[in-house]
Amino acid sequence: MAYHFSPIKLDDKGHIRDSVFAILRNAILDKKLEPGQRLVERSIAEELGISRTPVREAIHKLVLERLVTHVPRKGVVVSGFTKADIVEILVIRTSLEALICSIAAAKIKPRELKRLESLAKQISDEHEKGNLKKSNQLNDKFHEIIYRAAESPRVHSFLNTLHEYITKFTQVAYSKPGRPAEVCVEHKAIIEALSKHDSSEAEAVAKKHAKNSSKAFLEMAYCD
Amino acid sequence: MAYHFSPIKLDDKGHIRDSVFAILRNAILDKKLEPGQRLVERSIAEELGISRTPVREAIHKLVLERLVTHVPRKGVVVSGFTKADIVEILVIRTSLEALICSIAAAKIKPRELKRLESLAKQISDEHEKGNLKKSNQLNDKFHEIIYRAAESPRVHSFLNTLHEYITKFTQVAYSKPGRPAEVCVEHKAIIEALSKHDSSEAEAVAKKHAKNSSKAFLEMAYCD
DNA sequence: TTTTGGAATATGGTATACCAACATCCCTTG
DNA sequence: CAAGGGATGTTGGTATACCATATTCCAAAA
């Protein structure tokens, strides 16, 4: 059975395993590989024109991220994403988003607060111009500032992973009527809580922000 | 430089990479490998009497768990655990513990509640008998019941990982005078919230429980 | 004595080879 | 024709070989 992967270009200076990981990951998230489908190391390696070793290492990472499941004596198969899985990811993100915000409140510097205010304004501007892509990028930066301010590498990297899962669908969430305006209001509330270095308020508003975002996503994604 | 690992016994039916992972992980958590020390694939493989392949895969998992850090053109080095790292792990656990408890409140079955009550009683009994080891085991079971009730595999497995980090020190926390009694009270409060299927109360009491446990740990571990 | 070039070495990344377990299918045998 | 068994193939796990890069160190030249 063929996966229809193109041979890898070797001009990449990064490690092959990372390229393979990205290829497989995108294929799964883009549903090019169906849930339940087996991933056969030899076949993938052959199609990509490389050896099994980097393929194995890439698959390993996928297992750790639960995008594929290891079945004894069968190899790995693509995991299915049920609605329950999506919900779990969203609630984890909500919880950690609240956590990192409360931590950030205690540590954030005036310089970073300034940057957040500037970004919030830009985001709102781009919204009005209808520039979804740009405003999404800026939105990511907004949250990245907060993540960094919290100086909590584990939470930070975990949130990034979750974010990548969700990103594949996020423009859907933003297309919900009225959501962009809400986002602006919520961003302002977050900035205010952070400015006051009020951890519990920051936790509360961040949780509300993430919950609303999750809700908007679920409504749009599962309206059927 | 020698790591002083003994050759692996091959009678293990499990995969070698898992054995290697456990060996390295324990060595790091038990401080037999010092922070900053390099892990050289060839040397480890040689000492264990196996090939590099399973060693590589084990090291990969360690990187994902941040127990070691990959340094370009250097290989991997053992990560240092500062107090900030411990604190971060504890607050993540607190956050997820609260989350999983609130989810469990909505899903838990009478059968599981019965089991929790029985365990809480046993734990308190073993405390009084001064049987720390046994009561710790039962405590783990107590939380495991709740984890399972939540049916949230990602949170569940993440909490297990965090738990293993903390476990290495946990008997310290329990040695704090008065803590065992508090634990019993907190367990009762958790059971009550779960019985009422009150998610927000469950979240609150679980958070308090985890926070108190973290506090007890930090006080005992860093009294100097 | 200092500097520099290159060879030797160390090490991780990648490719390949080998093996054991399991599945599949055909052939034999009743 | 059906059932059992063995040959063969598939696949993941492990071992080994090879390669590229970077570091170290020594020797030769200025």
Model pLDDT for residues A100-139, shown as the tens digit of each residue? 999 999 999 999 999 999 999 999 999 888 888 888 899 9
Q: Yes or no: say if A186 and A205 are a contact pair by the CB < 8 Å rule.
A: yes
Closest to A154 (Cβ–Cβ): which among B61, B92, B154?
B92
Count other C-beta atoms under 10 Å from residue B148's C-beta: 16
The DSSP result for B85-141, as a single string, is HHHHHHHHHHHHHHHHHHHHHHH--HHHHHHHHHHHHHHHHHHHTT-HHHHHHHHHH
pLDDT the model gives residue B203: 97
Place of tokens 């290891």: A70
pLDDT the model gives residue B12: 56
B115-157: pLDDT as tens digits? 999 999 999 998 888 887 888 899 999 999 999 999 999 999 9
Chain B CB contacts of A92 under 8 Å are 96, 99, 154-155
Q: How far is B22 from chain A (nearest CA, A)?
A: 16
Find residues 134-153 of chain B whose CB sits inside 8 Å of chain A. 151-153
Indicate if the pLDDT at residue B223 is higher than 70: no
What topology does CATH give the domain A16-78?
Arc Repressor Mutant, subunit A (1.10.10)
Nucleotide nearest to A56 (CA to C1'): D12
Q: Do B89 and A60 touch (CB under 8 A)?
A: no
- Bridge pairing between strands B38-39 and A68-71: unpaired
| CB A56 under 7 Å to nucleic chain D | yes
Tell which strand C nucleotides have any atom below 7 Å from a protein Cβ.
Answer: 10-17, 21-23
pLDDT the model gives residue B36: 87
Task: Please check whether the two domains, A16-78 and A83-221, share a CATH topology.
Answer: no
* CB proximity B103 to A under 8 Å: yes
Nucleotide nearest to A76 (CA to C1'): D12
Q: Do B95 and A91 touch (CB under 8 A)?
A: no
Question: CA at B17, C1' at C11: how many angstroms apart?
Answer: 20
Q: Which CATH class is domain B83-221?
A: mainly alpha
pLDDT the model gives residue B196: 98
- Bridge pairing between strands B75-78 and B38-39: antiparallel
pLDDT the model gives residue B9: 62
Q: How far is CA A4 from CA A10, A168, A180, in A?
A: 18, 21, 39
Exposure class string for B183-208: b at 16+ Cβ within 10 A, else e: bbebbbbbbebbeeebbebbbbbbbe
Residue B220 — very low, low, confident or very high, per pLDDT cuts 50/70/90? confident
pLDDT the model gives residue B116: 97
- Going by C-alpha positions, the residue among B64, B59, B21 that lies closest to residue A61 is B64
pLDDT the model gives residue B59: 92
B19-78: pLDDT as tens digits? 899 999 988 888 888 888 899 999 999 988 899 999 999 999 898 888 899 887 678 899
B91-115: pLDDT as tens digits? 999 999 999 999 999 999 999 999 9
> For chain A, what are the domain ranges?
16-78, 83-221
Between chain A and chain B, the number of residue pairs with CB atoms below 8 A apart is 48
Question: CA at B22, C1' at D30: how many angstroms apart?
Answer: 57
Q: How far is A132 from chain B (nearest CA, A)?
A: 31
Question: CA at A49, C1' at C20: how many angstroms apart?
Answer: 27
Taking only the tens of pLDDT, chain A with its 224 residues reads 568 887 766 555 678 888 999 999 988 888 888 888 889 999 999 988 899 999 999 999 898 888 899 887 678 899 888 889 889 999 999 999 999 999 999 999 999 999 999 999 999 999 888 888 888 899 999 999 999 999 999 999 999 989 888 877 655 656 678 888 899 999 999 999 999 999 999 999 999 999 999 998 888 776 55
- Going by C-alpha positions, the residue among B98, B67, B134 that lies closest to residue A99 is B98
**Which one has a higher pLDDT value, A177 or B210?**
B210
